[in-house]
Structures are given as structure tokens and as C-alpha cells.
Amino acid sequence: MEQVQYHIRCKKDEVNKAVLLPGDIERADYIGIKFFRDS
């Protein structure tokens, strides 16, 4: 399985980098975290 790098923007407007699997993206979207693809 390939991991994809994303920028995570938190509610505090803090931007962090994380390497997540596609399943983690769905889970994080459920708790209200927005994901932006790292270009």
C-alpha cells in the first residue's frame, strides 16, 4: 500500500505534515480535520 503525504490544517490554523493511509483520511475527515494534498 502506498502512503500519501498530506498537509493537515487544524482548527487552531496550525499546519502539520503527516503521512497517512487512505483509510486514515476517511477517519480524520469524520472527526472534522480537513486534508490538503501536498503538491
Using the predicted structure, report yes or no on whether residue 39 has a pLDDT greater than 50.
no
pLDDT at position 28, please?
A: 53
Q: Which residues contact 33 (CB under 8 A, 6 or more apart)?
A: 8, 9, 10
Total of domains in the chain: 1
Query: Could you tell me the pLDDT band of residue 2, with boundaries at 50, 70 and 90?
Result: low
Rounded Cα distance, 31 and 28, in Å: 5
- 3-state SS of the chain: helix, strand, coil percent to 5? 25, 40, 35
- Say how far apart CA 32 and CA 28 lie, in whole Å: 7
Range of the domain at 18: 4-37
C-alpha cell of 21? 493511509
Instruction: Encode pLDDT of 5-37 as tens digits.
Output: 555 554 444 444 455 555 565 555 444 445 555
